[in-house]
Homo-oligomer: A and B are copies of this chain.
Amino acid sequence: MSQGPEQHADNEIPLADANDPRLAPYRLLTDRALRDRAPSSPTEVSATENAPHGRFLAEGHYVLQRLIAAGAPVLSVMLTERRAAAAREYLSTFRGPRYLVSEELASKVVGYPVHRGVMGLVARPRPLTPAELTIDASLLVYLDGIADTENVGAIFRTAAALGADGVLVGPTTADPLYRRCVRVSMGATAVLSWARDTGGDALSRLNGGPLSGWSLVGLSPDGSTTLEHLVEHQPPRSVLILGSEGPGLGDKVRRDCDELVSIPIGADSDSLNVAATAAIALYRLAARRNGDSRHSSQTK
């Protein structure tokens, strides 16, 4: 599969040195460093001038293809020679540099085996404000204190697939553009709109502002209303509020909710995982919102 240099596209750049500064952003950087770090070299300055809000990494052909299709600002791509051919079609419109490396070099740079064969460095978009997110929206998800990146990724993936309008990310919830969130969400965290809700008292403030007129629906195993009851009298604009596995919704958040809604489960059972809860609730509310069209519209 590896091709000689003469067959490389204009912007395919074979690299053989793990210390090449162009590979620096791919090198063992933490997600936080990618987001926050000031560039450390002239090469890095040019790489970050188009990324005033920081950068993140997207792994795998599927995710990168989805991001490019959605118009995400991809800054550069690192491809293993063996997998470069697979990327040519979806990268055909991509004008940035594609660094071609061996699988060994890729693993050395990244710090773990790179099986997916491709990583893209992407500029973070300007963060939306909660007010921007709520405009024209009618079904949102609020993530309260969900530190587990896999749960955050899974909920974004489901929310995008089932047609939620966006996600409000609570103060102590994991950053949706951390590597694992992007990967688990199959790129949905870079495609679906979301806004970080910062500071304490977050939900209360929103309730008096951008979420004024919205129904704040907390999902909780001890909720007094069942999901099916909520579906029957579905409010026109709802935020589904999800908490973390162990502690569930925080006390303050519970008090801010208009309703606490439960999904009935067996008496001898553990509670549902938060991602399963999100899937069930979003399915029911999105389906009701979209009416019968969901019964006939078929996508693959």
Q: Which residues in A have some Cβ–Cβ distance to B below 8 Å?
A: 62, 66, 69-70, 154, 157-158, 160-163, 186-188, 221-222, 224, 226, 228-229, 262-273, 275-277, 279-280, 283, 287, 294-300
Q: Say which residue of B188, B228, B295 sits within 8 Å of A294 (CB atoms).
A: B228
Would you call B262 and A298 a contact (CB within 8 A)? yes
Q: Say which residue of B268, B273, B299 sits within 8 Å of A266 (CB atoms).
A: B299
Q: Say which residue of B229, B266, B276 sits within 8 Å of A279 (CB atoms).
A: B276
Q: Taking the full assembly, how many copies of this chain does it contain? A: 2
Residues of B within 8 Å of A265, CB to CB, are: 161-163, 299
Q: Which residue of B lies closest to A232 (CB)?
A: B295
Given contacts A160-B266, A163-B265, A272-B279, 5 further A-B contacts (CB under 8 A): A161-B269, A222-B300, A266-B299, A276-B276, A280-B283
Residues of B within 8 Å of A62, CB to CB, are: 270
> In the bound complex, how far is the Cα of B53 from the Cα of A209, in angstroms?
61
Name the distance in Å between A218's Cβ and chain B's nearest Cβ: 14
Name the distance in Å between A161's Cβ and chain B's nearest Cβ: 4
> In the bound complex, how far is the Cα of B271 from the Cα of A62, in angstroms?
12
Would you call B162 and A228 a contact (CB within 8 A)? no
Name the distance in Å between A220's Cβ and chain B's nearest Cβ: 9
Would you call A162 and B266 a contact (CB within 8 A)? yes
Would you call A297 and B264 a contact (CB within 8 A)? yes
Would you call A229 and B295 a contact (CB within 8 A)? yes
Would you call B273 and A158 a contact (CB within 8 A)? yes
> In the bound complex, how far is the Cα of B226 from the Cα of A228, in angstroms?
19
> In the bound complex, how far is the Cα of B284 from the Cα of A295, in angstroms?
14
Q: Which residue of B lies closest to A224 (CB)?
A: B298
Name the distance in Å between A149's Cβ and chain B's nearest Cβ: 13
Q: 12 interchain pairs (CB within 8 A)?
A: A160-B269, A161-B270, A161-B271, A161-B272, A188-B270, A221-B300, A226-B295, A228-B294, A265-B299, A271-B300, A276-B276, A276-B279
